Structure 1
Amino acid sequence: MAERLDTPREARRPWWTRPKTRGNEDSFGHIAEAIARFMGTPKFLFYMTVFCAAWLIWNSWGPIDFRFDKAANGFTALTLMLSIQASYSAPLILLAQNRQADRDRVAAEQDRQRAERNLSDTEYLAREMASLRIAMGEVATRDFVRSELRVIVEELQRSAHDAVADRDDEQPEDDTPTDSV
């Protein structure tokens, strides 16, 4: 029942017309990848070799009444089983390769975006460094300040020397000795 009486109930669609969920495809893809990954291992080759050898041994030298695939027929059942296995494994491997290609494509796109961000960050930092260098060119350096201070000190010493010389010139020379008592 609807929570409010003035709100109509949502129409429910039959299950066969509902959109498929992504989870089912994804879980099938995971299973397909696991199978394809297992089929590419030495363990699978070993198991398949043991299975075929056991099949051939049983149907060649086993009790005649219990043989289920005759050697005279060319082991038709084994051939059919291996054909079925091959017909299922090829699409599973292709599905796993497609999923891996999709993951690689997404990873490549993310790497490209990350590289673009790194490039823009690097360019920004380079512009900032250039502006700092330009600003530092207008700032007085230690050597410049020291040379300016030397010039000022020399000017002060010269002016002090000139002031002493001027004062000495202004005082009259008196030949009368002054006695201090």
Structure 2
Amino acid sequence: MADPLDQPKEIRRSLIPRPRVEKDAAGKAAEAIARFLGTARFLVYLTVFCAVWLAWNSWGPEPLRFDSAANGFTALTLMLSLQASYAAPLILLAQNRQDDRDRVTAEQDRQRAERNLADTEYLAREMASLRIALGEVATRDFVRSEIRNLLEEITERERGAPADGERDRPR
């Protein structure tokens, strides 16, 4: 019988406890290793390791040598091949993670650019509407000329002369 979907799943306990590991722990470890493999410190360590290996197996006490020079240092070759065979996939994994981060960053940059473009277009429309509105506002010179015209009409009325608009009107 199938488990009902409205009930929580039972926790199965096993005799051997499973370690709880963060989902991305392997990726973080791969990046840390790949980051270390790309340093001068790693090259120095590897060079010292190989030099010590070669020196010990060439000039060390005969019964304590473990890699014969006569066989072309086969064990050293195998060690370096093993290191390279692990380094390549770790570096590729780290590059894939970096590509994913770059993709997310590019998407965020694209969204930010779209928002900036929309904001810029909005501000440009607002500035255009302000310019249009300012074109309809009375300027200082226009107001002064209107006041001057009104003053002239008032002074003409006070003198008794009919104003321009009153001459044509019947009484």
Classify the TM-score, shorter chain: 0.7 to 0.9
Q: Which amino acid in the other structure matches residue 90 of structure 1?
A: A
Residue 31 of structure 1 is matched in structure 2 by 29
CA shift, 1:135, in A, is 1.5
Residue 89 of structure 1 is matched in structure 2 by 87
| 1:72 matched to 2:70 | yes
CA shift, 1:76, in A, is 0.6
Aligned pairs (5 A) from 1:95-106: 95-106=93-104
Distance in 2 of aligned mates of 1:14 and 1:76: 48
- How big is the alpha-carbon RMSD for the aligned residues of Structure 1 and Structure 2? 2.0
Distance in 1 of aligned mates of 2:74 and 2:13: 42
Distance in 2 of aligned mates of 1:146 and 1:52: 95
Residue 172 of structure 1 is matched in structure 2 by none
Distance in 2 of aligned mates of 1:73 and 1:83: 16
Distance in 2 of aligned mates of 1:46 and 1:158: 104
Secondary structure at the aligned position of 2:137 is classed as coil
Distance in 1 of aligned mates of 2:68 and 2:23: 41
Residue 50 of structure 1 is matched in structure 2 by 48
Residue 61 of structure 1 is matched in structure 2 by 59
CA distance 1:56–1:108, change in 2 (3 Å): same
Distance in 1 of aligned mates of 2:140 and 2:127: 21
Structure with bigger gyration radius: 1
Q: Please report the TM-score for the alignment, with normalisation by the length of structure 2.
A: 0.80
Q: Which moved more, 1:112-121 or 1:147-156?
A: 147-156
After TM superposition, what 4+ stretches of structure 1 lie above 4 angstroms from structure 2?
Answer: 13-16
Distance in 2 of aligned mates of 1:83 and 1:15: 41
Residue 135 of structure 2 is matched in structure 1 by 137
Q: Could you give the per-residue CA deviations for residues 83-124 of structure 1, whole angstroms, max 9, x where no partner exists?
A: 000000000000000000000000000000010011111111
CA distance 1:101–1:15, change in 2 (3 Å): farther
**Structure 2: runs of 5+ lacking an equivalent:** 1-5, 15-20, 162-171
2:156 to 137, 144, 158: 158
Q: Please report the TM-score for the alignment, with normalisation by the length of structure 1.
A: 0.76
CA distance 1:102–1:130, change in 2 (3 Å): same
**Structure 1: runs of 5+ lacking an equivalent:** 1-7, 17-22, 164-181
CA shift, 1:125, in A, is 1.2
CA shift, 1:78, in A, is 0.5
Distance in 1 of aligned mates of 2:55 and 2:13: 50
Residue 115 of structure 2 is matched in structure 1 by 117
Secondary structure at the aligned position of 2:129 is classed as helix
